[in-house]
Chain A
Amino acid sequence: MISLLFAFPIRAQQTTIRAQDSITELEAVTVSTGSPRNRIMQSAYSRQVIEGIWVEENLAGSLMQSLESLPGIQAASIGAGQSRPAIRGLGFNRMIVAEDGVKHAGQPWGEEHGLEIDQFAIGDVEISKGAGALRYGSDAIGGVINVRHESMPLRRFEGTTNLMIKSVNESVGVAAQVAGRAGRFWYRAKMTLIDYADAGVLADSIQYYSYYIKLHERRLRNTAGKEQDAGLAVGYAGDKLRTTFRIANVYTKNGFFANAHGLEVRLSKIDYDRSRRDIDLPYHAVNHIKISNHTEWQSERWRVELRAACQYNKRDEYAEPVSHGYMPTPPNTLERQFQKQTCNIGAEATFLWSAQHVVHVGLEAEYQQNRSAGWDFIIPDFRTTTTGLYVQDRLSLSEDLALTAGVRVDRITTGIDPYYDWYRTPVAGGDSLFLMRAAPLQRLFTCLTGSAGINYRTGLWVLKANVGKSFRAPIPKELGADGINYSIFRYEKGAAWLSPEESYQLDAGVYWGNERVEVLAESYWNYFPNYIYLNPTAEYREGLQLYTHTQSRVFRWGFEATVDWRLSDNIHAALTGEYVYSTQLSGEKTGYSLPFSPPAVATLLLKYQPHTTWTGPDGFIALHCKVVGNQYAIVPPEKPTDGYQTLALSAGRSFLWGSHRLRLMLRCDNLLNTAYFDHTNYYRLMDIPEPGRNISFLVGWQF
């Protein structure tokens, strides 16, 4: 326990540095046992910490798919082993995934781009919904999913090995780690290997537009993939100074459904059906390497945190070369390549001004450059420099009333290089040209954002409210694109004049809880004066439908609600619900929703933990019911999606022998083998249903 207290304050970001804070932070981490009222009191916006063990019990094909059952969190799956996140329906560049407080720098703008984070290499996950702009700056409009790593191990030498198998895509994986300490120094090394086959779906064939595609053995042709990750952390943990150096590499390779890549139906001479474990064209191979340092120095009244990280994201996208329009058949299979290098450095000082005031001051700087290659053009090469400065004060008027207010200023410069086609296009007068697809551009964005909130506790109630402004600088694709997006077969045109997207949001939450029942309801009202929207027009450009980036006024509101009820010492029930409504208030699509709006979802969890000798210390069986509503609020080119219900069953227990612990976990998703569509998933546009019944098994050995 002492070591736990020792380890967790390092992660504290928004809390005070008084002695009891280690305890409140610890309570926040161990959600099930701490006082939830204290946790709710800690932040004026929606903030939640998910333990690593929770992720294990809800383990799916990728990190976001595992977290999806949390209210307000959505995963847009790209097959069974990849996904990209969304918070309250805002995904892509409207939310941030961070590791230990450092923004993950991948290519989140792509519909088919999964998140490059190893779900076995995490300590816990901190989720902030609808806020985070103050700490993270641009892009944190929807919220922040901050993956936090474990720090100092508790023992001289320890380790874990997890083996898992999954039936729906015949996934086999192993995740192992060893850790140790010598005095104040420690290390932790991790490795994860996963290999999966083509996913099974509940359909013999797919009807796409009026094309009819037969499936071999009810498998989504060429959706196999693999993941190979490794990481090493070394650290020093003294009384006042703690520092961690970390290097991690995530490599994924995943195939895409062969017959509808790029929203065009394709036949190929590749014999996809000869094996379901091979990965043929089209496929993506992504390597993400991250080197970081996190240092914290703490004294009586001060805490200073330094974060520095460099990331290199290399994404290779391969497809069979096909001629289109005036583009001749390309000479190779490299459709697109992106190489993004990002370095950032951040410093945050927390100062205990008086017994009532805690002040945070932070400074951040980031440099990013991106280079593209391949025969397809989607984003121009660019360089972005960001600097941000923020200050926040938390005023505790009493034990039961706290006010928080902060402001942040950001300065972002984006420089875009010109791009010319590699082939000639005939122009008037019998001549032909290498057309310019992106014009050189230099933009400067400055943004002032802020937030203010209140937490009030009375009796069994906690009330909280937060009002904030966040922003997002337009990305180079939105500013500079002027060409065909082959992977979705449309012509995308950027707009160099776009202003930074701004979002005003009011969050309000109510909590009530006693020993047995806890209720948390959180609602939000969100207004964008200039939401950047990729508008499908009626026009054609080079033979494809023209989509233009424009800005429109958008209003959104929604809520999440959770009821936790401990019926007895053995039985726990949890009911959750989430709903998002969005509407465009101006522009060509006035009255329409926003793309990929998630449907309403309600879930019920019933968990039985008998606490008998034969079930061990933590044996459980749980039933998960999920009811998803219709999603008919759509925009072109989406399709209305009917609601569905699924059931899942999970059971697990541990066996203890001395310092060894063996953990078994069995889970069956989609128990009734229901055929359904998930509105926000990548394959939805191609009318491809979701996987059928999936049985997964996990064996973990800890020593």
Chain B
Amino acid sequence: MRKRIVLYILTALVATNCSCDEGKDMDSPVIMMNDSRAFPPNCATLYRGEQFEFRAVFTDNRALGNYNIEIHQNFDHHSHSTGAEECPVDSVKTPHNPFVYNQSFAILGSPTYYEAVAGIAIPAEIDTGDYHFMVRLTDRAGWQQLAAVSVKIADRN
């Protein structure tokens, strides 16, 4: 009798397990940086004293959350991009006035498809050289995706 009761309870619990799977989002959002419309591509050159436009397509199975763009110096070659291609780098140097950019952007309305566009101004007085351009993207459920490209900041002339 006792065993039968335990069995009933176990069966009931197993049954409830399966029913609650439907509501859960188990997929990370997607950053499409390889698209021809995306900017900057890996190994791109950006120019100080100018503004450029970040462009990428984000998708998610349910609802996109927010995204963040971070640009930091890679003068010590501490990391590399998520792209397959290795970009040519300058020699290692000490930062004096490196460009630091860190900005978060809201994606309104929790869409499943979003074309991100953001204008980013590079001040004229910052150090030129190798930089990392990182994109972080969340969805509403808290999953995150990263994409990083190597870029160079130079003078236009």
Contacts and interface: CB of A to CB of B under 8 A. Distances in A.
Interface of A: 209-212, 264-269, 320, 322-326, 329, 463, 508, 510, 523, 535-545, 557, 581, 583, 588-592, 632, 634-637, 640
B138 A545 contact: yes
B100 interface: yes
Contact of A536 (B17, B144, B145): B144
Interface of B: 2, 6, 13, 17, 20-21, 23-24, 26, 65-68, 70, 72-73, 76-80, 82, 84, 95, 98, 100, 102, 104, 136, 138-147
A99 B138 CA distance: 44
24 contacts: A266-B78, A267-B79, A267-B80, A268-B78, A320-B78, A323-B73, A323-B100, A326-B102, A329-B95, A510-B2, A537-B142, A540-B104, A543-B70, A543-B102, A545-B136, A545-B138, A545-B142, A588-B142, A590-B23, A591-B21, A635-B142, A636-B142, A636-B144, A640-B26
A637 B143 contact: yes
Contacts of A266: 78-79
Given A210-B82, A265-B79, A540-B66, A591 B20 contact: yes
A538 B140 contact: yes
A325 B71 CA distance: 9
Given A265-B80, A535-B142, 10 more contacts: A265-B79, A267-B79, A322-B78, A323-B95, A325-B100, A536-B144, A538-B139, A540-B68, A591-B20, A591-B24
Given A538-B66, A543-B104, A581-B17, A211 B147 contact: no
Q: Is the interface of A mostly helix, strand, loop or mixed?
A: loop
Contact of B66 (A325, A539, A581, A635): A539
Nearest to B147: A210
Nearest to B24: A591
Contacts of A588: 142
Contacts of A537: 65, 138, 142
A545 B21 CA distance: 25
B78 A267 contact: yes
B131 to A, nearest CB: 12
Given A324-B72, A535-B142, A267 B77 contact: yes
B102 A636 contact: no
Interface centre among B13, B17, B73, B141 (most CB of A within 10 A): B141
Contact of A325 (B80, B102, B147): B102
Nearest to B83: A210
Contacts of B136: 540, 543-545
A636 B143 contact: yes
B93 to A, nearest CB: 13
Contacts of B26: 632, 634, 640
Nearest to A540: B104
A320 B77 CA distance: 13
A209 B146 contact: yes
B80 A523 contact: no
Nearest to A521: B6
A324 B79 CA distance: 13
Nearest to A268: B78
A265 B68 CA distance: 18
A323 B73 CA distance: 9
A463 B6 CA distance: 13
A426 to B, nearest CB: 10
Contacts of B17: 581, 583
A125 B68 CA distance: 49
Contacts of B77: 267, 269
Given A322-B78, A583-B20, A591-B20, A540 B138 contact: yes
A132 to B, nearest CB: 24
